[in-house]
Amino acid sequence: MSTTVEEALLTRRSCRAFRPDPVPRAEVERLLDLAARSASNSNSQPWRVHVLTGAAKAALSADLLGAHDEGRRSAGEFAYQPGADQWREPFRSRRRRFGEGLYRDALGIEPGDAAGRAGHHRRNYDFFGAPVGMVVTVSRLPLQGALVDAGLFLQALMLAARGAGLHTCAQASLLDYHPILRRHLGVPADHVIVCGIALGYADESHPIAGHRTTREPVSAFATFHGALDDPG
């Protein structure tokens, strides 16, 4: 399957329910090779990707789920987003609307149902059933600019996956258990963990499959200086 960049952008979503159908290693390598064409500051290419399938993925997921169920959440080693109670407007409202749309509208989990919400959140640590799990890290040496490079790489990977008929979900939630990731994957000390990624074929029969998030209009975030049709 192939698609245009525009189609990939319009159909990409954070998929939270996957079929178990395997993705061939050659296809995963092809997608990573495409993503590696991403721009990076001075072509530094600071990213590294750990790909997990089969027994390796199952072992990591078992440890993550155990830590989650026992409340062994770790403090962030490289926090690049606010804590749950530290988001400011307008981002706080957008985050709240996202949660309402995901839990209440798509999954039928009411705001007061803490157990229901926790049960869905728990699925993060099995990569939502995807056959391929990835963990992306970047070198500390280019400093925080490496996170910009990581974002470009992640976007390219997700769009390449759509071109292959696959779906993805980037997962910051794995950072809550970064010591487990480091132990399983041998992440070197000079690298920071950016996020996990679930990769596979979407389970379109799952209730969450129809969920879509909204986007702000261009007028809300773009300021035009000068006339675009003015050649001078």
pLDDT in tens, 138-179: 998 887 889 999 999 999 999 999 999 999 999 999 999 999
Question: Domains in the chain: how many in total?
Answer: 1
Q: What does the pLDDT look like over 51-104, one tens digit per residue? A: 999 999 999 999 999 999 998 888 766 667 777 788 889 888 887 887 777 777
Q: What is the pTM of this model?
A: 0.89
111 lies in some domain: no
Distances (CA, A) of 42 to 36, 54, 104, 146: 14, 36, 45, 11
130 lies in some domain: yes
Query: What phi, psi does 16 have (nearest 5°)?
Result: -120, 25
What per-residue confidence (pLDDT) applies to 231? Answer: 65
Residue 62's domain comprises 5-82+125-211
Higher per-residue pLDDT: 2 or 211: 211
Which CATH number do you get for residue 21?
Answer: 3.40.109.10
Q: What does the pLDDT look like over 144-155, one tens digit per residue? A: 889 999 999 999
